[in-house]
Amino acid sequence: MVDSDERDAGRAGGPEGSGDRLAAERAPDEPDIDDLLAKLDALRDTVDEGHEREKVRETISLVERMPGTSALAQRITKYTSRDLAESFVGAVLFALPLLVEGGVFEIAAWFAATTVAGVPVLLVGHVGFIFLATAGLLYFADFRQITIRHPILGVVPRRYAGVLLVSLATSAAMLLFWGRLHEGDPTPIERLGRIAVVWAPAAFGAGLGDILPGESQGEDLGKFDLDIGDDD
């Protein structure tokens, strides 16, 4: 037989254990300073004694004045659909001025005319410059601290791929819709050159549009098919 005291202890421990489990389930997946402050605010509302409330207020003030708090606010960890939209807006803003510039045609013609063994080396170099400049803007310039999570195939950062693809698609679409891609009957290489010329500022604008507003709210795209090759 089970002693009555043990049964009472079991009853007392049951709800407490379930409460702990519920608290753990409600805990955020990626807690940050804001989550800590929210918990402290909730604690301040639950304490009864005045001196206890004062201690909680002092703790909140201490957390807000921590040297690392402002640095944490500059960190970006998630990549969401809002980041894609911000990249699109930035790409449009930076690409628009070039759509009315005739210099784009001249640069594209120069790219097409400068070849080595039939390879447009300047065009290839220009595309390489776009890749390097975009990576430098996102991960080496001191705008935001970008955390790389769930890279595509375990190698390519999602934000890097998103900025490049959004800006490339935006550049090609705008040139096509505005009638600038085929104007003057250019060669295929010249068409690619026109896209590449507009792509450079569009990629820069897409990167700035993504990271300058800070971390976006919403669901991380790592849970969808974009996160190829990641099993987490």
Query: 185 and 94 in one domain?
Result: yes
Tokens at residue 207, please? 């990167």
Residue 82 lies in a domain: yes
pLDDT in tens, 140-195: 877 677 777 778 888 889 899 999 999 999 999 999 999 999 998 899 999 999 99
pLDDT in tens, 191-221: 999 999 999 999 999 999 888 877 666 677 7
pLDDT in tens, 42-82: 776 676 777 776 777 666 666 655 555 554 455 677 788 88
pLDDT in tens, 28-42: 666 656 666 667 667
Q: Is the pTM of this model over 0.75?
A: no
Residue 228 lies in a domain: no
* Residue where one domain finishes, among candidates 35, 51, 72: 72
Query: 83 and 66 in one domain?
Result: no
| 115 neighbors 186 (Cβ within 8 angstroms) | no
**Selection from 134, 128, 196, 200 nearest residue 162 by Cα:** 134
Q: What are phi and psi of 146, to 5 degrees?
A: -90, 125
* Residue where one domain finishes, among candidates 44, 72, 100: 72
Q: Which domain holds residue 22?
A: 4-72
* Residue where one domain finishes, among candidates 23, 46, 72: 72
Residue 231 lies in a domain: no
Number of domains composing the chain: 2
